Amino acid sequence: MVNVVAEISIVPLGTGSPGVGRYVAACVGVLARRGIKHEVTPMGTVVEGNLDDILQAVREMHEVPFGAGAQRVVTTVHIDDRRDKQLTMEGKVRSVQERLGG
Amino acid sequence: MVNVVAEISIVPLGTGSPGVGRYVAACVGVLARRGIKHEVTPMGTVVEGNLDDILQAVREMHEVPFGAGAQRVVTTVHIDDRRDKQLTMEGKVRSVQERLGG
Amino acid sequence: MVNVVAEISIVPLGTGSPGVGRYVAACVGVLARRGIKHEVTPMGTVVEGNLDDILQAVREMHEVPFGAGAQRVVTTVHIDDRRDKQLTMEGKVRSVQERLGG
Amino acid sequence: MVNVVAEISIVPLGTGSPGVGRYVAACVGVLARRGIKHEVTPMGTVVEGNLDDILQAVREMHEVPFGAGAQRVVTTVHIDDRRDKQLTMEGKVRSVQERLGG
C-alpha cells in the first residue's frame, strides 16, 4: 500500500462570480464521505492516505462543479510520495517547524 | 466519455544528480505504450484524452522513478476539462495564437 | 496595494537525500525575517500580503537551496488575487468550513 | 545572471464565460513586448531567460485580466533553475526525446 501526502485544488471557470467557496466545500465533502484524512488550507485541500484511494476521490471531486453548473473545471493534484520513510501531514510540518524553532 | 487536456510532471527527489531526463523519458514511454496522445514540453508532458485513461497512466508513470531507484517522487497533474466545447491541445494553442496574430 | 494569498513551494533536486526539511526551513526563515505573514502546510508555505513583497521574498527564497549546496531548484508560486473583496488566509478556509458545517 | 526555464499560467475566475483565450493572449503579449523568449503550450506559456526579468513580466501579466474586467486572477509560476549546466527550452525537450528515440 502506497501512502502519500497530496494537495488537491479544484477551480471552476466562467461561473459568473469570483467566489468559489461553495464548489470547494462540495468537493471537500467527497473526501469526508470517503473517509480520507484531509485538511483544508487557504490554497487547496491537503490529503493523506493510499494513492489509489486519493486518485479515485479526485476523479469524483472533479465532477462536482460540473454537477453544480460549471462548464469548465481546472483540477490540480500535487502528490508527494516518499518510500524510505512514511510521510504524514503532521510529520512534514513538524520537520520544518523543529528546524525553525532550533 | 470525458476528454480533457492535462499536463503531467513527475520529478524524483534525492537522486544524487540534478539531471532527471532519463526518469522523464521512462515516464513518457508509459504514455506511448498506452496510446495516449502526448507532447513533451520543456516543463512537463501535455496529454489529451479520456480522463480515466489519463489518471490510470499517471498512476503507472508515478511508479516509474521508484522502479529506477528513486526514494521520493513528486508528481503534479494539472487537468483542464471543458464541457461546453471540446478542448484539444492544438485548439488551445491556436485560440491564443490567432488572437496574437490579429 | 495589492493583497493576495499565495502558496510557495521550493524543492531542491539531486541533493543525494530524499529529505528536504532543512532547505524548506531555511526558505521559510526568509518570510519570517521579512515580516510576511505565513503558515507552513504539509505541501507548501501559504503567505498573505502585498504581491510585490511576496515576489521579492520568493526571489530570495529561491536562492536559499543553492546557497546550501543544491545545484537545481524547482520553485512553484501559486497566487490567488481577488479584487472585489479582500482575501485572507483565514477567510478562505472559513468560507469552506462554514459551508461544510451547515 | 540567472537563466531559467519557467512556465506561467494566468487564469481569470468568475468571468461569466468558460473561454479564457483572449486573456491568455493579452498576457502573452506582455512577454513579446518585453522580448522574453516564450512558447505557448496547451497548458501554459513556457519562458526562458533571466529570472528577475521573468518575475517582472509575471507581475505585469498578472494585472492584465484585471484590466480586462476580471475580478479574480489565479497565477501559477513554475521555475526550473539548474546551475551546474545551462537549461534551455530546446535542451530540456531534446534530453527526453533522445532517450525515447534510442
What span, in angstroms and rounded, lies between the C-alpha atoms of C93 and C101? 12
Strands A72-82 and B72-82: antiparallel
Residue D94 burial (10 A CB sphere; 0-12, 13-18, 19+): middle
What's A31's DSSP letter? H
Residue A98 pLDDT more than 70? yes
Task: For chain C, give the percent of residues with pLDDT over 90.
Answer: 94
Measured at the CA of B95, the angle between CA B93 and CA B99, to 5 degrees, comes to 115
Within 8 A by CB and 6+ apart from C101, the residues are none
Task: For chain B, give the percent of residues with pLDDT over 70.
Answer: 98
**DSSP conformation letters of D43-92:** TEEEEEEEHHHHHHHHHHHHHHHHHTT-SEEEEEEEEEEESSS---HHHH
Mean pLDDT over residues C9-38, rounded?
Answer: 95
ipTM of the complex: 0.95
Mean pLDDT over residues B36-48, rounded?
Answer: 98
Q: Which residue numbers of D have CB closer than 8 Å to C's CBs? A: 51-52, 55, 58-59, 62, 66, 71-84
Give residue B66's pLDDT: 97
Which H or E element spans position D26? helix D21-34
Which among B16, B71, B72 is the nearest to C14, CB-wise? B16
B43 pLDDT band, cuts 50/70/90, is: very high
Residue A1 pLDDT more than 90? no
What span, in angstroms and rounded, lies between the C-alpha atoms of D67 and D56? 17
The minimum CA-CA distance between D6 and chain B, rounded to whole Å, is 7
Nearest to C24 by CA among A93, A75, B91, D60: A93
Q: Which residue numbers of B have CB closer than 8 Å to C's CBs? A: 11-20, 71-72, 74
Q: What is the CATH number of the domain that holds D52?
A: 3.30.70.930
Positive or negative: CA dihedral D48, C54, B78, A92 = positive
What's C84's DSSP letter? S
What span, in angstroms and rounded, lies between the C-alpha atoms of A65 and D20? 18
Contact between chains at B17 and C14 (C-beta distance less than 8 A): yes
Give residue D102's pLDDT: 55
What span, in angstroms and rounded, lies between the C-alpha atoms of D36 and D47? 7
Residue B44 pLDDT more than 70? yes
pTM above 0.90, yes or no: yes
Question: pLDDT tens for residues A24-36?
Answer: 999 999 999 999 9
Give residue C2's pLDDT: 77
Nearest to C71 by CA among B11, D86, D90: D86
Amino acid letter for position D7? E
Domain range for A90 is 3-101
Nearest to A58 by CA among A18, A100, A95, A6: A6
In the numeric block, the cell 520513510 is attached to: A85
What span, in angstroms and rounded, lies between the C-alpha atoms of D40 and D43? 8
Question: pLDDT tens for residues C65-76?
Answer: 999 999 999 999
Give residue B102's pLDDT: 55
Nearest to A7 by CA among C73, C15, B99, C45: C45
List of chain A residues whose C-beta atoms are within 8 Å of the C-beta of residue D11: 11, 13, 74
Nearest to A49 by CA among A64, A33, A31: A31
Question: pLDDT tens for residues D13-54?
Answer: 999 899 999 999 999 999 999 999 999 999 999 999 999 999
The minimum CA-CA distance between A80 and chain D, rounded to whole Å, is 17
Contact C6, C79 (CB under 8 A): yes
Residue B16 burial (10 A CB sphere; 0-12, 13-18, 19+): exposed
D101 pLDDT band, cuts 50/70/90, is: confident
Contact between chains at B77 and A81 (C-beta distance less than 8 A): no
Residue C102 pLDDT more than 70? no
Give residue D2's pLDDT: 77
Domain count, chain A: 1
